[in-house]
Chains A and B, each alone.
Chain A
Amino acid sequence: MQHSAFTQRQQYDREDTDLLKRIQRSDQRALTSLYDRYAAVLYPLSLRMTGSKEEAEDLVIEVFAQAWEKAGSYAPHHGSVYAWITALCRAKGTEKVRSANQRRRGNEESATPTRKSSDSEEQSAGTEPAIVLKGVTEDVRSSIKSLSKLELRLLELSYYEGQSQSDLARMLRIPLGTIKAKMRRGIQKLRQVSTQEAK
């Protein structure tokens, strides 16, 4: 059963590479196929990084627009097309959060804005569960159980929020050496999961 999900993943990788080649030839349908396949993963990632639905939507658009414009800059050392597009999203998201923080520091002296409660439970109109990567995702989730809770949490904080190891040490009051060791070990385990996937 696990094997079939990994085979499915390899099939996706091959198809994604073809989609990217078609994008380089200005094929818009190829871009929409890539979007339909991965938007449901990149949107929650964007939401996790920016914390705002509007910004997450903008980020998803920027990422796919960049994939359209820069498809030619994809190289095998970026990993699979999925890994490349995820890294684009993460880099752009980090940039967005950093500049928002800088803007906020610049405006700090201005008056406190009036706050009103917003409906955090409101579901976006077009939301629907994505099933494209379901098998793969379930498989990854069970494989990732080899990471300890702390290892996973540190990687998530670093990945989603761009926290440096020393930021994490300060924030969680955990010695820097422990953070480094746990993260390194977490990455090693993640790599084992991803190479297992590739087999």
Chain B
Amino acid sequence: MTGKTEERHAQLELCIPFVFGRLNPGNRKQFEAHLATGCEQCRAELSGLYEATALLPLMLRQEAPPSGVRQRLLSRISSKRPEPQRSEPRGQRPSQPQQREKVVTPSLRPERPWYLYASIVMGALLIVALVIFVNQLVGTASSQEKKIAELQSELQLKQDVFAVLQAEGVETVLLTSVTPGSAERGKIFWDPAKHNAVIQTSNLPAESDGKQYQLWVLKEKKYISAGVFDVTAEKGNALKAIPLPAADKQAIEGFAVTLEPKGGSMEPTGPIQLHGATR
């Protein structure tokens, strides 16, 4: 009895990742099987979560799709009849067990030095060890200085990002690629009152040598530079706080990202990679 209750509580923890679609296939299947048992607690939890998350789209500006969409929907369903009431089965992805390679390391047998020279060798070793130790200390100090500088810049970035994200009246502008179906994306979190912004991008191609991405503000049909930024080589991601040119909120029509010579250009010379309108 207690076990059953505990199991239900454990499953309750899975409700949020389930609603956000973040459960792995195994856990998802297990959770669906649990739901199929009719657990009232989890069903009520899920219903509440679906209801709560469905409020988020109501925050977006409502806009009806173009009129042709309704007609396309009607022609699509005209040949189909609704399925009879049933529960949806879901597929299961087989798990792939990972094989581990056994790593064999050869053992080293130290040679025994001749006892007459042992003290000389030991002395030499001590000197070498001392030199290595001193070098390491110097190296550690400089690498720690480097680490401190990295952490300081990381902290500064974090503070800048937090400041924009938490600002009153912050606007979000989505940046999309001009190529349909492209996964290149970006977002501008923009604080119009303080003229600060955070740019976040994903899947942008890594810059070639001598090139750098540049953010532009579209104001009165003219592009004004808002600075350059770099993306990570593996995923084309970037996160950077960027001060924007001072301008009224209404005057800023949009943002764009282009690939420019390193250091940036006075006006866009490369093709537009991402763009988004403030509307």
Contacts and interface: CB of A to CB of B under 8 A. Distances in A.
Interface of A: 23-26, 28, 31-32, 35, 39-45, 47-48, 51-52, 54-57, 60-61, 64-65, 68-73, 75-80, 82-84, 86-87, 90-91, 94, 97, 100-101, 103-105, 112-113, 115-118, 120-121, 124-130, 133-134, 136-137, 140-141, 144, 148-150, 152-153, 155-156, 158-160, 162, 164-165, 171-174, 184, 187, 190-191, 193-195, 198
B64 A43 contact: yes
Nearest to B198: A172
12 contacts: A28-B77, A51-B174, A61-B69, A61-B76, A68-B77, A78-B47, A79-B46, A83-B53, A101-B203, A112-B205, A159-B20, A193-B52
A39 B64 contact: yes
Given A54-B180, A69-B82, A70-B88, A129 B62 contact: yes
A72 B65 contact: no
Nearest to B273: A115
Given A82-B54, A194-B52, A195-B48, 12 more contacts: A44-B63, A57-B65, A60-B69, A79-B51, A79-B54, A83-B51, A86-B54, A115-B271, A124-B65, A130-B62, A149-B166, A187-B16
Most buried by A among B48, B64, B78, B237: B64
Interface residues of B, number: 85
Contacts of B162: 150, 174
Given A125-B67, A149-B170, A173 B60 contact: no
Contacts of A173: 154, 157-158, 161, 239
Most buried by A among B22, B43, B88: B22
Interface in B18-70: 19-22, 35, 42-44, 46-70
Contact of B74 (A26, A32, A130, A159): A32
A128 B158 contact: no
B162 to A, nearest CB: 8
A54 to B, nearest CB: 6
A72 B87 CA distance: 8
B12 interface: no
Given A116-B178, A130-B63, A77 B43 contact: yes
B102 interface: no
Given A64-B73, A77-B35, A187-B49, A72 B59 contact: no
Contacts of B271: 115
Given A118-B178, A194-B55, A129 B63 contact: yes
Interface on chain A toward B: helix, strand, loop, or mixed SS?
Answer: helix
Given A26-B81, A35-B73, A73-B86, A171 B272 contact: no
